[in-house]
Amino acid sequence: MEKSAEEPTKKKVVAVVGGGLVGALNACYFAKRGFEVEVFETREDIRQAKIVKGRSINLALSHRGREALKHVGMEEKITSQGIPMHARMIHSPSGKQSQIPYGKKGQYILSVDRANLNKQLLTEAETYPNTKLNFGHKLQDWSVETGLMTFVRSDGSEDQIQADLIVGCDGAFSAIRKQFMRRSRCNYSQTYIPHGYMELTMPPINGEFAMKPNYLHIWPRNTFMMIALPNLDKTFTCTLFMPFEDFEKITTGDEVVEFFQKYFSDTIPLIGLDALKRDYFRLPALPMVSIKCSPYHIGDKCVLMGDAAHAVVPFYGQGMNAGFEDCIVFDEVMDQFNEDFSAVLPEYTRVRVPDDHAIADLAMYNYIEMRAHVNSTWFLFRKHVDNFLHFLMPKTIIPLYTMVTFTRTRYHKAVERWHWQDKVINRGLLLSATGAVLGGSYLLIKNPPDINKLIIPAEKLWNRVVALRT
Ligand code: FAD
Ligand code: EGO
């Protein structure tokens, strides 16, 4: 059934460039407001394609992303096809598995299929009569002065289109963003990390999931990390993160097995020896980049959202969630400023840049921290400490991961609060340490111990130390 636009009067044309996750969702947002929406996407319609090439098969959807979907009535449709992950399952090198819940009962993240999510959002966008999807349209260039966009069609022919507003949702290597970079006072930074990623499939065993399905499985091995998210077809998609240097060192099937034997031995029988030897060489490891820029807009003509505005490394599972949240924030600003683009665009930049930059930093921080000293013991220890402190002071100490993943606390506020909590914790530690010293001294003064009784155990202790050292 087709939905009717809110107003029948002639509405402005909004061109959404990029029909990926954020572009497709954004099309729904603008269509709901009654704009004439034109989506332009390089690829052919993925709903017709047999195989969808591209990166990452499944993604972790969390609160921010869900809230954004809810706004256009898509939450239920998507979450019902996601697999809840209530806890992380940490795999130690010996194959021991330990779980730590993400939060209270209702707090879980969802494993969703990227292609399916994208298809559903495109289909939803199409239910609005005021939306048109143009596939096989690759944006070549656009003019800041006139807003005229030039597309190259699949057959090589060109197409020129003008719009009142251009929304750049064309991903990390955004063609829309190129015009931003030529302007003065435009900030841009781009960092490739030394790690690449490779996806491997873990098939079902006897028609069932090879591991427990409702978990985010993690193998933290400092610089080598692997995660696995469940899929509806009872497979797991394992993602191996490793420096390119190390990927390149492994050149034969036997070397792959040797490497997995050393670090991820419990997964060998689950992925399968032959599959492992074969799949490792199927595709090269792919790069990961972190991109920041500001401002996000040019005049009243153009705005960037999603990865086009902020590509983040995937070590927080927030890239798509942040991009989806961009859509809500823009929508809120549209309400505040009555859809007046000349006021909405600068305000959007003002409120959103600090938050997107904060999540880019947090994701990079997680990457650095995890590769530097997070093995399975440290991972478990840290999460237990987080949970314990939260248990002690539920209102005061909220784990950063919780604020980022299960609330809509502005990302930059979550960072501020995290620093503040650290101060409270350190002060608490200092206070307890001081208390212990003072209390101890008081007790010692009040009940001076018999020095002879002290010397004997001290001697025994020393003997033990000597025994240890020899
Ligand atoms: P894209 O998904 O890149 O879409 C851009 C679209 O624009 C594409 O369809 C492309 O074909 C089109 N396009 C590009 N150029 C043009 C052009 N010139 N003209 C027309 N169209 C064009 N995020 C999470 O929230 N949770 C996770 O668990 C998670 N895991 C990840 C794991 C990995 C390994 C990676 C790499 C990323 C992960 N992400 C995750 C991040 C997430 O994939 C991205 O943030 C998200 O895809 C961004 O969506 P987007 O629509 O902005 O960009
Ligand atoms: C000490 C212990 C310091 C993505 C643990 C930091 C990220 C980080 C890539 C997980 C979960 C969704 C993810 C946790 C930490 C997705 C995620 C986490 C990875 C890798 C990921 C957690 C896809 C970091 N969320 N997360 O707390 O479970 O903690 F391991 Cl490599």
Q: What is the CATH number of the domain that holds 350?
A: 3.50.50.60
221 within ligand 2 shell (Cβ under 6 A): no
Answer yes or no: do 30 and 154 share one domain. yes
Q: Which ligand is nearest to the Cα of residue 161, counting in written order? A: 1
Per the CB < 8 A criterion, the answer to whether 239 and 231 are in contact is: no
One-character DSSP codes across 283-314: S--EEEEEEEEE--EETTTEEE-GGGTEE--S
112 within ligand 1 shell (Cβ under 6 A): no
What kind and span of H or E run contains 173? none
Answer yes or no: do 337 and 313 share one domain. yes
- pLDDT given for residue 450 in this prediction: 78
Q: Is residue 1 part of a domain?
A: no
Answer yes or no: do 320 and 415 share one domain. no
- pLDDT given for residue 459 in this prediction: 72
- pLDDT given for residue 429 in this prediction: 81
Q: Name which of 112, 191, 114, 173 is nearest 360 in CA terms.
A: 191
304, 333, 366: which is the final residue of a domain? 366
Per the CB < 8 A criterion, the answer to whether 231 and 113 are in contact is: yes
Answer yes or no: do 318 and 398 share one domain. no
Q: Is residue 98 part of a domain?
A: no
Q: Which two tokens stand for residue 239?
A: 């993602």
- pLDDT given for residue 448 in this prediction: 81
Per the CB < 8 A criterion, the answer to whether 120 and 69 are in contact is: no
Answer yes or no: do 397 and 467 share one domain. yes
d(CA 21, CA 403) in angstroms, rounded, equals 23
Whose alpha carbon is nearest atom 1 of ligand 2? Answer: 379
User: How confident is the prediction along the chain (470 residues), in pLDDT tens digits per residue?
Assistant: 445 555 556 789 999 999 999 999 999 999 999 999 999 999 999 999 877 655 569 999 999 999 999 999 999 999 999 999 999 999 999 999 999 999 888 899 999 999 999 999 999 999 999 999 999 999 999 999 999 999 999 999 999 999 999 999 999 999 999 999 999 899 999 999 999 999 999 999 999 999 999 999 999 999 999 999 999 999 999 999 999 999 999 999 999 999 999 999 999 999 999 999 999 999 999 999 999 999 999 999 999 999 999 999 999 999 999 999 999 999 999 999 999 999 999 999 999 999 999 999 999 999 999 999 999 999 999 999 999 999 999 999 999 999 999 999 999 999 999 999 989 888 888 888 888 889 888 888 888 877 777 666 667 767 766 776 65
pTM for the predicted model, two decimal places: 0.92
d(CA 150, CA 436) in angstroms, rounded, equals 71
Answer yes or no: do 167 and 280 share one domain. no
The 3-class secondary structure across 35-94, one letter per residue, is CEEEEECCCCCCCCCCCCCCCCCEEEECHHHHHHHHHCCCHHHHHCCCEEECEEEEECCC
Q: Ligand 2 mean position to 220 CA, how many Å?
A: 9
Q: Which two tokens stand for residue 332?
A: 């809120």
**What per-residue string of b and e applies to 187-217 under the rule 16 or more CB within 10 Å gives b?**
eeeeeebebbbbbbbbeeeeeebbbebebbb
Answer yes or no: do 276 and 333 share one domain. no
- pLDDT given for residue 469 in this prediction: 66
Q: Say if strands 36-40 and 224-230 run parallel, antiparallel, or are unpaired.
A: unpaired
308, 335, 366: which is the final residue of a domain? 366
Q: Which ligand is nearest to the Cα of residue 307, counting in written order? A: 1
Q: Is residue 7 part of a domain?
A: no
314 within ligand 1 shell (Cβ under 6 A): yes
Q: Is residue 88 part of a domain?
A: no
Q: Which ligand is nearest to the Cα of residue 290, counting in written order? A: 1
d(CA 156, CA 51) in angstroms, rounded, equals 23
Per the CB < 8 A criterion, the answer to whether 230 and 204 are in contact is: no
d(CA 263, CA 390) in angstroms, rounded, equals 32
336, 366, 396: which is the final residue of a domain? 366
Q: Ligand 2 mean position to 114 CA, how many Å?
A: 19
320 within ligand 1 shell (Cβ under 6 A): yes
Cα dihedral 20, 42, 132, 341 sign: positive
Q: Ligand 2 mean position to 157 CA, how many Å?
A: 45
Show the domain range for 57: 13-83+109-190+290-366
Q: Is residue 348 part of a domain?
A: yes
Q: Is residue 96 part of a domain?
A: no
Q: Which two tokens stand for residue 267?
A: 């997964």
88 within ligand 2 shell (Cβ under 6 A): yes
317 within ligand 1 shell (Cβ under 6 A): yes
Per the CB < 8 A criterion, the answer to whether 99 and 87 are in contact is: yes
Q: Ligand 1 mean position to 56 CA, how many Å?
A: 9
- pLDDT given for residue 462 in this prediction: 74
Q: Is residue 263 part of a domain?
A: yes
Answer yes or no: do 294 and 172 share one domain. yes
Q: Ligand 1 mean position to 173 CA, how many Å?
A: 10
Answer yes or no: do 334 and 387 share one domain. no
237 within ligand 1 shell (Cβ under 6 A): no
Split into its structural domains, the chain has a count of 3
Q: Which atom of ligand 2 is nearest to the CA of 316?
A: 7
Task: Return phi, psi of residue 210, to 5°.
Answer: -70, -25
Q: Which two tokens stand for residue 250?
A: 């492994």
Q: Is residue 318 part of a domain?
A: yes
- pLDDT given for residue 94 in this prediction: 97
Per the CB < 8 A criterion, the answer to whether 308 and 172 are in contact is: yes
Answer yes or no: do 58 and 186 share one domain. yes
Answer yes or no: do 220 and 132 share one domain. no
